[in-house]
Structure 1
Amino acid sequence: MQQSCPKHLKHLVVKPGSKVDLGDIDPRDVDCLGKEEAVRTKLEEDVVAIDALQDRLYAEGKRALLVVLQGTDTSGKDGTIRGVFNTTGPLGVTVTAFKRPSEEELAHDFLWRVHLAAPRRGTIGIFNRSHYEDVLVGRVRKLAPKEVIEQRYDQINDFERILAENGTVILKFMLHISKKEQAERLQERLDDKTKNWKFNAGDLEDRKLWDEYQKAYETALARCSTDHAPWHIVPADRKWARNAIIAAIVRDTLEAMDPQYPKMPWKPSDFRIE
């Protein structure tokens, strides 16, 4: 389990067994990062480094990295993928966006479709939303009995432990934005014609349940942050800071994994290209 986090970002990790109060965490807090210009420069460096490390991970072919992005509507899951992973070669990166389950998926246990999407060895898998929807939306919208929701926290922990014990390193990021920031981003989707397609009237219904969702997140973060799959609460009101934090942690983790190019059973000098 080779998750790693730069020292200046370790306060973002949810300690296993700790209580979480999102109201105590400022979604605009960037004090740990320093000046914006320097942070943006570091972000560019981290993105390039992630690409190089991913190439080594793919060549090694023995382990995988799973990045879980979870957050309320407009929190920046798509933006994070573009800002952190767009430079990374597409051959070894998969992105899975979990939406409302299909009839086929509902006919199985709630983790069935998630396990199918788990990254293969040598790759980075990114979940845009995830299995946590089943203890977030499922809890707030009462899509399953309370006792079933309660069982799912332990089932999620067991599932993630199985992945970890079989060579998948797991990083989970909760993109923490304020209700005010969400309002501004939703309004932008209405005002900007190029973003109209992003607007979903259903988001307004979820917005009415803001407090309930915050409580559901606090429970999931507290119950499912483990040594083998820690949660990070990322202040996400500032997009550049959100991307910089996640890129730094992903890079640090890949460097800790230290994937290696395989050694060939031959020497280049053994061959001559005519």
Structure 2
Amino acid sequence: MKITDYKIPCTKEIKLKDYPTTEGKKKDNEQIRQEVIPDLVARMKELHHKLHAEEKRGILVVLQAMDAAGKDEAISYIFSNLSAQGLKTTTLEKPSEDEKKHDYLWRIQEGLPARGEIGILNRSYYEEVIAPRIHDLLEDGDIPEHADKNSIWNLRYRQINDYEKYLYENGIHIVKFFFHMSKDEQKDRLLERMKNPEKHWEFSFADVEEREHWDEYHKIFEEMLNNTSTSYCPWYVLPADDEWHSRRLVTEIMIQLLEKMDPKYPRYTGEDLKKLKKYIKKLENE
């Protein structure tokens, strides 16, 4: 299994249909959950602890998908194992009236990680190139004078790329996961939520209503991936029908990024080191 197989290249256009929604790993769910995930999570937790202690750089994780594709579960089963002090999770809902008065990237500011943190966006600013197109939600103030309803999407792709580059150049690394799920798998998961009273809280009637726009969504997803996967902020397409395999991939990709960043525990040097030794001796002699 090569991580690069799931990475959207920034040098050529892809077709989303060429990326599988399953690799036949569903049968391995229990084995992955019990034998593979714990060691991977332990390694990611170790690296995250160093990132948090170092406080030099941060990581922004972007999760995008259709409903029931597994974003929430990735947070629950993978990221929730990390130290809460260095972790923040933000779920973007529909823009509020106050948020609509600002530029479309304004509302994500509070979700950005500080140096030493991993910030997770469960849905993200990418909603602003998806939902408004499906439901024709743009208002007059949303369209700059030099654009129109057709050209604004390429304009926003460029703005998002510029914004992500700005964050990257200021020490915030961004990794983006698209949970690629089949329509049949979504149907099964939605029915499970609808038929099980204990899972009704996970279901929204809007999930079924949005399903009617399946083909439109996937056309836009493909365009989005092609226009915003960059060398500095790549997209990864996960075979989301295989839920635990996808969670393993998320963990391995995060580990790969953290190992590349190579965070270190801070160490005393110079005068601080001399002072440390002095205080050690003082306490030992009490």
Sort the TM-score into its range (normalised by shorter chain): over 0.9
- The whole-number CA distance in structure 2 between the counterparts of 1:136 and 1:99 is 13
- The whole-number CA distance in structure 1 between the counterparts of 2:133 and 2:263 is 39
Q: 1:194 to 1:240 in 2, by over 3 A?
A: same
| Residue 119 (1) aligns with residue 113 (2) | yes
- The whole-number CA distance in structure 2 between the counterparts of 1:131 and 1:253 is 22
- Equivalences for residues 178-257 of structure 1 within 5 A: 178-257=182-261
Q: CA deviation at 1:139?
A: 1.6
Q: CA deviation at 1:123?
A: 0.3
Q: 1:199 to 1:39 in 2, by over 3 A?
A: closer
Say whether the 8 Å CA contact 2:40–2:251 is kept in structure 1.
yes
Match of 1:4 in 2: none
| Residue 270 (1) aligns with residue 278 (2) | yes
- Equivalences for residues 15-164 of structure 1 within 5 A: 15-29=9-23, 39-40=32-33, 41-144=35-138, 145-164=149-168
| Residue 260 (1) aligns with residue 264 (2) | yes
Say whether the 8 Å CA contact 2:56–2:116 is kept in structure 1.
yes
Alignment deviations for residues 176-232 of structure 1 (CA, whole Å, 9 cap, x no partner)? 000000001110111111110111111111100000000010000000000110000
User: Which 5+ residue runs of structure 2 have no aligned equivalent?
Assistant: 139-148
Alignment deviations for residues 59-102 of structure 1 (CA, whole Å, 9 cap, x no partner)? 11010011111100001111001121121110000001011011
Q: CA deviation at 1:42?
A: 2.6
Cα-Cα RMSD: 1.8
Q: How many residues align?
A: 267
Could you tell me which amino acid in structure 2 is paired with residue 14 of structure 1? I
Could you tell me which amino acid in structure 1 is paired with residue 211 of structure 2? R
Q: Which has the larger radius of gyration?
A: 2
- The whole-number CA distance in structure 2 between the counterparts of 1:38 and 1:255 is 25
- The whole-number CA distance in structure 1 between the counterparts of 2:157 and 2:109 is 16
Could you tell me which amino acid in structure 2 is paired with residue 269 of structure 1? K
Give the one of 146, 154, 175 matched to 1:171.
Answer: 175
Q: 1:37 to 1:8 in 2, by over 3 A?
A: farther
Q: Identify the range of structure 1 (104-113 vs 211-220) with the bigger mean alpha-carbon deviation.
A: 104-113
Which structure has the highest helix share of the two?
Answer: 2
- The whole-number CA distance in structure 1 between the counterparts of 2:2 and 2:32 is 13
> What is the TM-score normalised by the length of structure 2?
0.88
Q: CA deviation at 1:20?
A: 2.5
Say whether the 8 Å CA contact 2:92–2:121 is kept in structure 1.
yes
> What is the TM-score normalised by the length of structure 1?
0.92
User: Which 5+ residue runs of structure 1 have no aligned equivalent?
Assistant: 1-6
Say whether the 8 Å CA contact 1:174–1:232 is kept in structure 2.
yes
- The whole-number CA distance in structure 2 between the counterparts of 1:99 and 1:200 is 13
* Secondary structure of the corresponding residue to residue 228 of structure 1: coil
Q: CA deviation at 1:138?
A: 1.7
- Which portions of structure 1, spanning 4 or more consecutive aligned residues, are displaced by more than 6 angstroms? none
* Secondary structure of the corresponding residue to residue 60 of structure 2: strand
Q: CA deviation at 1:118?
A: 1.2
- The whole-number CA distance in structure 1 between the counterparts of 2:172 and 2:152 is 27
